[in-house]
Amino acid sequence: MVDNIGEIVDACGSQTVCQVDGASISNASELGGVLPSGVRVVVIPSPDQAENVLSSGTIASQFKQATGADTVIVIEDRKKDLSFVASDGDATAIATALNSQGKDDGGEAVAAIASTLVPTDAPGDSAATNDLGAGIAVGVGVVILFAAAATVAVTLIRRSRKSGRALGSARRLEKELSSALRGEDGEFIRHAIEGLRERAAAHPDLGDRIRTLAEHVSELFVRVRQRGTEQQLRLLTVQYKDTLAKLTKALADDYYGDIRRNPQYWSNPEERAREVQRAVESVDAQLVENIKQVNESRDLEFKVALDSLIRTVDEAKLSDVYTDREKQ
């Protein structure tokens, strides 16, 4: 049972690729040799195989914090593996790159992008600087200062260009998303995406997973606009208007937020929280599958139903919050 991050950290030790509780990927031994320093991979059973008390996104975040790794990728061992990322870099971009490849095996997906998983800040050549003697000539010192200034200038220019490209990419994505999300229902989904990003900031334990889910919503609608049909676009809009309305309701500050802040005021708070976490994971998995279906011109399938979760939210009685009141 994946329910204790300390046990996972202890079990994995210094392994670059760690397979937990019988979970596996096809290339574990080879993958460790191609990953950059500071990147760790943890493979866990899927929720269908084990009752995961900790969400996969939480495992990634806590494992990263406990080990000091630059990037941690948690792979759920499924028929089609899913990946979750915590990173000093762009965790959302890494997770999207992994889950959008269409590979059934998560290890193969990681290997395909391993060369891009570099630390955000590479160490400088401090050793060479420390070797300079105290009697270095003033002229050499001036040269070094100019060289350092030139290096800083080049770095700033490169960062500026990267920021400009990122901003341009974000604007293009927003424009494409606006084109895909039309009408009242489309506007609702756009507001839901913004609401999910706000919920990610409000719930650190689920933050990475919610942000990834929000990006997958955007990616799905952009792709169906580019590659799919009007019928698919209408079907997705109707389906996800309902799904995202239910999910944001469950993640609201007066339900999931209050359960996390004040568990003493709720009946079965851990089970309630796990139900919301499972809903987030299930919706995200469905989004990734829908993206694949659009890419491959297959029929869209929707297998996630949140009716049970919403009944739980709607039927939360005052007696769950105020223990001095009798059950309704």
CATH code at position 104: 3.10.310.50
Task: Please indicate, yes or no, if residue 135 is contained in any of the structural domains.
Answer: no
Task: Please indicate, yes or no, if residue 57 is contained in any of the structural domains.
Answer: yes
Burial classification of residue 292, based on how many CB atoms lie within 10 Å of its CB (0-12 exposed, 13-18 middle, 19 or more buried) = middle
**Per DSSP, what are the bridge partners of residue 87?**
71
CB atoms under 10 Å from CB of 109, counted, come to 23
Q: What is the pLDDT of residue 5?
A: 85
Instruction: Identify whether residues 64 and 189 lie together within a single domain.
Output: no
Separation CA 238–CA 262 (nearest Å): 35
**Per DSSP, what are the bridge partners of residue 40?**
72
pLDDT level of residue 250 (50, 70, 90 thresholds)? very high
Query: Could you give the residue ranges of the DSSP H alpha helices within 28-131?
Result: 28-34, 56-67, 91-99, 106-113, 126-130
At 296-327, the pLDDT tens digits run 889 999 999 899 899 999 887 544 555 444 44
Rg value, the chain, Cα: 23
Domain hosting residue 212, numbered range: 168-321
Instruction: Identify whether residues 180 and 305 lie together within a single domain.
Output: yes
Q: At what angle do helices 207-227 and 56-67 cross, to 10 degrees?
A: 120
Q: What is the pLDDT of residue 279?
A: 95
Across the range 201-217, mean pLDDT stands at 92
**How many degrees, rounded to 5, is the angle at CA 110 between CA 206 and CA 24?**
80
Q: What is the pLDDT of residue 70?
A: 92
Separation CA 221–CA 181 (nearest Å): 7
Separation CA 219–CA 175 (nearest Å): 12
Separation CA 295–CA 232 (nearest Å): 12
Higher pLDDT, 280 or 134: 280
Instruction: Identify whether residues 17 and 112 lie together within a single domain.
Output: yes
Separation CA 152–CA 180 (nearest Å): 41
List % helix, strand, coil for the chain (3-state, nearest 5). Answer: 65, 5, 30
At 84-136, the pLDDT tens digits run 899 988 888 898 888 777 788 999 999 999 988 887 554 444 443 344 343 43
Residue pair 196/214 in contact (Cβ under 8 Å)? The answer is yes
The rounded mean pLDDT for the chain is 80
Q: Which of 81, 116, 151 is a domain's end point?
A: 116
Q: Phi and psi of 44, rounded to 5°?
A: -125, 160
**How many degrees, rounded to 5, is the angle at CA 276 between CA 267 and CA 44?**
115
Residue 142, pLDDT above cutoff 70: no
pTM of the model: 0.48
State what percent of residues in the chain have pLDDT above 70: 75
Q: What is the pLDDT of residue 151?
A: 60
pLDDT level of residue 56 (50, 70, 90 thresholds)? confident
Q: Name the most confidently modeled range: 113-117, 168-172, 223-227, 281-285.
A: 281-285
CB atoms under 10 Å from CB of 15, counted, come to 13
At 155-188, the pLDDT tens digits run 555 554 554 444 344 445 555 676 667 778 888 9
The amino acid sitting at 219 is E
Task: Please indicate, yes or no, if residue 206 is contained in any of the structural domains.
Answer: yes
Instruction: Identify whether residues 72 and 201 lie together within a single domain.
Output: no
Residue 226, pLDDT above cutoff 60: yes
Instruction: Identify whether residues 77 and 173 lie together within a single domain.
Output: no
Task: Please indicate, yes or no, if residue 38 is contained in any of the structural domains.
Answer: yes
* Domain count within the chain: 2
Instruction: Identify whether residues 205 and 65 lie together within a single domain.
Output: no
Residue 18, pLDDT above cutoff 60: yes
Question: If residue 19 lies in a helix (H) or strand (E), which one and from where to where?
Answer: strand 17-19
